[in-house]
Each structure stands twice: as C-alpha cells, then as structure tokens.
Amino acid sequence: MLKTFNDIIDAVKEGGVKRLVIPDAAKTDMQSLEKAAGAGLIIPSFVGDGKEIEDVIKGTSLKSLEHEIIDEKDPDKALSASILSIREGRADILMQGGANHQALIDAVMDAKNGFRKGKLTSYISVFQLPKPEKLFLVTDTFMNNSPSLAEKQIILEHALRLAAILGLDAPKVAALAAIEQVNLNIPSTLDAAILSKMAERKQFGRAVVEGPLDIDCALSEAAAARKGLKSSVTGNVDIYLVPEVDTGHLLAEALVFFGKMETAGAIMGTTNPVIMNLPFVSHKSRIVEIAIASLMCEKGGNGG
C-alpha cells in the first residue's frame, strides 16, 4: 500500500518510462517536467512553436535529456496533434500545457476524436496525511456539478479503481452529507444511504461505504459515537465522496489554502490519463500527478 506521495513516485520508477505530450508547450511548467524526466518517469513531447519551445528549454536540464519538439504554431492544431499522438499510441499521457482550459476539456470529451471512455468522467483529488502517513481521496472535486445517484455510483467506482492502483484493496468510504441522518428533504442523505446499502450487499467489492456522514462524524470516531454511530469508517476514511462539486471543490481548496496540504489530481473515465492545470495543485505536486498518471497507464486504471 502506498502511503505517501514519495511512495507513488518510487513505485513508478519501477515501471517503464512513459511518453508525455504537451500542447502549446512553451507556456507549460518546465520545472515539474525537469524533475519527472530527470527521474526517468517520462520522455516529454513538446508540441507548439518550435523556436519558442527551444528558447524555453535552453536554460533547463531538459536540453540534455531525451525529448521531442513538434513544430505547430497554431494552438488549436497543437492540441489536436497532441490528442492524435495519444490515440495513435505515440504518447501515453496528455498534459494541459498552455492549451485553453475549456478547449482541452471539449477535445478530451469529444465522442469521436477524444478520450472519453464511458458515460461519465470524474476528478479525484489525492491528499497525504503526515501523521499517520496515509493517502486519502476526495471526489468529485471538479467535473460533475450535481451528480445523480447513478452518476455518484460511477464516481465512487472510479475512486475505488484509483484506490486499488494506490494499493488500497478494501477502502473505507465516507458518503458525505450535511447531516448524519437520512432526511427525505435532503437528497444527498438518501443517496448516501443507498450507496451504503449497496456496499453492504458487496456491490462495490470489499469497499466499506458509510453514509450519510457529516464531516465531523467522518473525521472523528468520538464524534460519531456521541451521535450514536458505530462504524469502521469513522475516523479512518480513505475516500470522501462529496454530494456535489461545490462541496468537493471548496473542500479541496480549503485543505490546500487553509490546511496547507499538498494535493495531486487524476481524471477518471478516459482511455488515457490527462493532467490539468488546476489552481489548487502546486507546481511541486505536478510530478506526483505525472507519477499517478504513469501508474494508471501501467495498471489500466482510468475507468469506464
């Protein structure tokens, strides 16, 4: 079981090097690419204005490391060329680089020429607890605004797939809601209770799902006991399943900006890993995202 971000990076070093393609690459974060390439995780393929890219990497260690530059000055064509290289098997991982945010999402989700694999894509934020050393996941923190119960099931299955890649075989899941009791006027509590019952009947394998749980019951076994709840999940959560994206996004940002925690993310439900430039992921953690994407390539874990 992987317990830290460093564990994730070390695990990837045991596998083969991956080719990572970056559209409009002159505008990307070269620092994380230097670290990832220097550690033997990736071979970067830069797509964009060739002269600008050469000027940018000239002062970095990437100049002496294996890399590829594809000259395509038009940003839209650079994005299309990057996606085509993935579809044709010439690259493994897509990194946003300088590509327009919405243009990237639209291209990736395109039913004909993109990477969308199933009915739904979701975004998982991975965090690291310092004491005890432990990784935990929060989802969905970016992609789905107001998921239905059926969509929450898929989001949960995506999280379980990533958890398995990280070595969590029987993860404990907190299905979060505003309160810890089922209230028919609060739909998220009903959804959480249904997912919990589905888990009891082994519809999520070995995962243990408890819900509805408010945040204090999820975090504290004592708080849960005070409210009459007894569960192996409370105080020992591996996956926090949030009711909608407002909660997920704000929770992720609060952990980063108030809690001073580092996070790395992964998109699930695509045929190949996609690394996005989200504001709550630091440059320092970008190499962790690259490592997670590499693990997903090795273990076929993007989901469907």
Q: Within this chain, do residues 135 and 169 fall inside the same structural domain, yes or no?
A: yes
Q: Within this chain, do residues 219 and 247 fall inside the same structural domain, yes or no?
A: yes
Task: Read off the pLDDT of residues 164-218 as tens digits, 9 standing for 90 and up.
Answer: 999 998 999 999 999 999 999 999 999 999 999 999 999 999 999 999 999 999 9
Q: Is the pLDDT of residue 31 over 80?
A: yes
- Quick check: is 175 in a domain? yes
Helix, strand, coil content of the chain in percent (nearest 5): 40, 20, 40
pLDDT at 88: 93
Structural domain for 25, as ranges:
5-116
DSSP track, 212-234: EE-HHHHH-HHHHHHTT---SST
Question: What are 176's strand-pairing partners?
Answer: 213
Q: Are 292 and 126 spatial neighbours (Cβ–Cβ below 8 Å)?
A: yes
Specify the pTM: 0.94
Q: Within this chain, do residues 154 and 253 fall inside the same structural domain, yes or no?
A: yes
Task: Read off the pLDDT of residues 6-28 as tens digits, 9 standing for 90 and up.
Answer: 999 999 987 889 999 999 998 88
Last residue of a domain, one of 60, 86, 116: 116
Which has more confidence, 297 or 130?
297
- Quick check: is 218 in a domain? yes
Q: Please report, as a single letter, which amino acid is at residue 149.
A: L
At 301, the pLDDT band (50, 70, 90 cuts) reads low
Last residue of a domain, one of 81, 116, 151: 116
Q: Within this chain, do residues 62 and 105 fall inside the same structural domain, yes or no?
A: yes
Task: Read off the pLDDT of residues 128-173 as tens digits, 9 standing for 90 and up.
Answer: 998 788 999 999 999 999 999 999 999 999 999 999 999 998 999 9
- Quick check: is 282 in a domain? no
- Quick check: is 297 in a domain? no
Q: Within this chain, do residues 206 and 174 fall inside the same structural domain, yes or no?
A: yes
| Residue in this structure with the two tokens 């739904």, named with its chain if needed | 120
Q: Are 12 and 270 spatial neighbours (Cβ–Cβ below 8 Å)?
A: no
Query: 301 CB contacts (<8 Å, ≥6 apart)?
Result: 161, 162, 164, 165, 268, 295
Q: Within this chain, do residues 190 and 231 fall inside the same structural domain, yes or no?
A: yes
Q: Is the pLDDT of residue 227 over 80?
A: yes
Q: Within this chain, do residues 129 and 226 fall inside the same structural domain, yes or no?
A: yes
Q: Within this chain, do residues 249 and 138 fall inside the same structural domain, yes or no?
A: yes
DSSP E strand boundaries for the chain: 18-23, 42-48, 68-71, 93-95, 122-129, 134-139, 172-176, 208-213, 239-241, 263-268, 274-275
Last residue of a domain, one of 116, 147, 168: 116
Among 216, 144, 209, 210, residue whose Cα is nearest residue 179: 216
- Quick check: is 296 in a domain? no
Angle between helices 283-299 and 30-38 (to 10 degrees): 50
Q: Within this chain, do residues 94 and 169 fall inside the same structural domain, yes or no?
A: no
The CATH number linked to 140 is: 3.40.718.10
- Quick check: is 100 in a domain? yes
Q: Within this chain, do residues 176 and 162 fall inside the same structural domain, yes or no?
A: yes
The CATH number linked to 59 is: 3.40.50.10950
pLDDT at 28: 86
Q: Is the pLDDT of residue 304 over 70?
A: no
Q: Within this chain, do residues 127 and 243 fall inside the same structural domain, yes or no?
A: yes
- Quick check: is 162 in a domain? yes
Alpha carbon distance 299, 289 (integer Å): 15
Q: Are 62 and 25 spatial neighbours (Cβ–Cβ below 8 Å)?
A: no
- Quick check: is 267 in a domain? no
Which has more confidence, 303 or 251?
251
Q: Within this chain, do residues 133 and 174 fall inside the same structural domain, yes or no?
A: yes
| Overall number of domains in the chain | 2
